Structure 1
Amino acid sequence: MVVDWVRLKLDLDAFDNARFEPYLRRCRQAGIEFTTMAALGDAAEHRHALYELNKTCSADIPERGEFYTLDEYLAQRIETPTYDPRGVVLAVDGGSWIGMAATSIRPEGHAFSEMTGVLASHRGRGLSLAMKVLAIRYARSRGMRWLRTLHHPGNTSAIGMNRRLGFVDEEPRPAMA
């Protein structure tokens, strides 16, 4: 089955950060801390913890299939030129990692939202939105104009969250000859 992915983009120059600050405040007031892989230390044990969190959060993605092995994950998501530990935002509750938003800077000149996810036990509290705001700050700090992402069309909650932030449909790419 061929999936017609939902491709979205956000104009970072037009993004209204102040509009979404209340989500960050609310999460912090509830005891949620936000940090990055860079701040924690981009060490092997943290990379393994990120893998486990990403694997758990990805389980709900429609038609996701089997998740990477740890070695595949490291090779394809971490040990690449586009990986930057400053671009991996983590939500922490009582010392436990409960959410992540990974953003990369692409050689084509834009930022790409790789994955945003929250453990099922912590969903519905605005954490994805708050982490995505921090990911947007990261992309802006790197001088990017556009943040892109893509979703399976059945992942309506992620698509809705991105649209709420101001993401719009990406123009279809021309077919390759």
Structure 2
Amino acid sequence: MTARSFGARLDVSDADADRLSALVSTVGAGVALRSLAEGDVDAVLRLDAATLGDYPGSLATRHDPLDRERATPSRTRRAFGALDAAGLLLAMTYVDVTGTTAETDFTVVRSAHRGRGIGVALKAFSVQVLAGEGVRRFRTGGSADNPAIIGANQRLGYVTDEEWVTLELRA
């Protein structure tokens, strides 16, 4: 076994709206949460390049570098960001929406700003926005060797419902 990964779900009917609001409010002064748009793509690409080596796991959870097309938000590929007062993109999460289901592609926080609750607040914000637009089921996942995202998902109310292992043949 070379890696472990997980999948988790959050149904809007089970979500604690007050908890989500409280998590969003923890982002702190000087940080704004908002939807990202086409005008943010250059900042997205810079943050993506700066954090490429930060994703734990293996083949099952790797993050492929974004290109301009994958970085451009759309009606079905939503993006949310946390920006500081100077407009620097501190964190981002991308979510693919199909009907009333949303699947988180990835969430990343600039290394100097980790451990401050920005990623949790941003992910809670994305759930609030999309739930307000009619999304009813959220899916997420990642490396089981990433305690930060596991803790964030638990705080948001996600329930782990799938686990996988990556195996490699030893010679």
Provide TM-score, normalisation by structure 2: 0.78
Cα distance in 2 for residues equivalent to 1:55 and 1:106: 27
1:99 paired residue among 87, 91, 96: 91
Residue from 132, 143, 150 that aligns with 1:141: 132
Q: Deviations over 1:4-49 (max 9, x none)?
A: 4211111122211212433333324x211112223xxx13xx2122
CA distance in 1, matches of 2:46, 2:69: 15
Whether the 8 Å contact between 2:73 and 2:79 is mirrored in structure 1 is: no
Contact 1:103 1:114 in 2 (8 A): yes
Contact 2:26 2:121 in 1 (8 A): no
More relative contact order, 1 or 2 (CA 8 Å, 6+ apart): 2
Q: From the superposition, tell whether residues 54 and 12 of structure 1 become closer, same or farther in structure 2 (CA, over 3 Å).
A: farther
Distance change >3 Å, CA 169–CA 47, structure 1 → 2: same
- How many residues align? The count is 160
Shift of 1:76: 4.4
**1:55·1:67 contact (CA, 8 Å) conserved in 2?**
no
Structure 2 counterpart of 1:113, which letter?
T
Unaligned runs of 5+ in 2: 165-171
Q: Do the aligned residues in 2 keep the contact of 1:9 with 1:169 (CA within 8 Å)?
A: yes
Out of 115, 127, 130, the position equivalent to 2:106 is 115
Q: Which residue of 2 aligns with 1:19?
A: 19
Aligned-partner Cα distance in 1 for 2:73–2:79 = 14
Q: CA RMSD in A?
A: 2.7
Q: 1:58, 1:117 within 8 Å by CA — same for their partners in 2? A: no
Q: Which residue number in structure 1 is paired with residue 51 of structure 2?
A: 57
Deviation at 1:3, TM superposition (A): 4.3
Q: Unpaired runs of 5+ in structure 1?
A: none
Whichever residue aligns with residue 137 of structure 2, its letter is W
54-63 or 111-120, which deviates more: 54-63
